[in-house]
Amino acid sequence: MNKKPQVLCHKLGLVFNDPQLFTLALTHRSVSSYNNERLEFLGDSILGFVIAQKLFEAFPSASEGVLSRLRAGLVNQSSLADLARGVQLGDYLLLGAGELKSGGFRRDSILSDAMEAIMGALYVDQGIEASRRWIENLFVERLQSLSLDNWQKDPKTQLQELMQAKKLDLPMYTLITMSGLAHEQVFKVQCTVSVLPDFCVGVGISRKKAEQSAAEQMLQLLIKSNQ
């Protein structure tokens, strides 16, 4: 295992018995036919199961349809990509020259697939309980912020209503950068609220997605600070 994957492994709070499994989880198909796709397939199923069980236990009165939508709100490409960006996972990906040149390390699909591949690799290396503990810890704040009252509302709406309920100024969204080709642009948006000195930066393939990402991060920050 080279230095960079070791650094990421430490940041994620993981120790692998077989470090090569972790390296494989970061290896995109543009590098080799020996890549992370099979681990991603496995991790996707494990993630869905772990989150489904947590929701089943947390919301005993919720119908199957509501549970499915709650899970979809947590387990999706954008959510996983946001988690990946939180640990700068893109800096550790093993990509082919073409993907590197086109900015594949920023792409939601590649980032989310790598996150699921890491989950699959952890399962192969240490079994379901280790995978469950890590996934539950990864999603703990998002799970805690869920309620049957707000599951259908997007993060921007939730944040706006929270500010209104506290009789505070509405959140401010500022476009920081817009980069990339016309068909593959990446937006960075900053979100600020009057009650906190900190700000959050969201990244997305549209300004709307970037704002939603920033709003979601700000909601988590407010939960941490108990504001």
Provide the annotated binding site for Mg(2+).
40, 113, 116
Which of 82, 108, 116, 216 is labelled catalytic?
A: 116
Nearest to 43 by CA among 26, 66, 55, 58: 26
Which of 44, 82, 99, 108 is labelled catalytic?
A: 44
Characterize the bridge pairing of strands 199-204 and 186-192.
antiparallel
Q: Residue 70 and residue 97: Cα distance in Å, rounded?
A: 38
Provide the annotated binding site.
40, 113, 116
Query: Is 116 in the active site?
Result: yes
Burial (CB < 10 A; 0-12, 13-18, 19+), residue 226, is exposed
Burial (CB < 10 A; 0-12, 13-18, 19+), residue 64, is exposed
Query: Is 211 in the active site?
Result: no
**What is the widest separation between alpha-carbon atoms in the chain?**
56
- Which residues are known to be catalytic? 44, 116
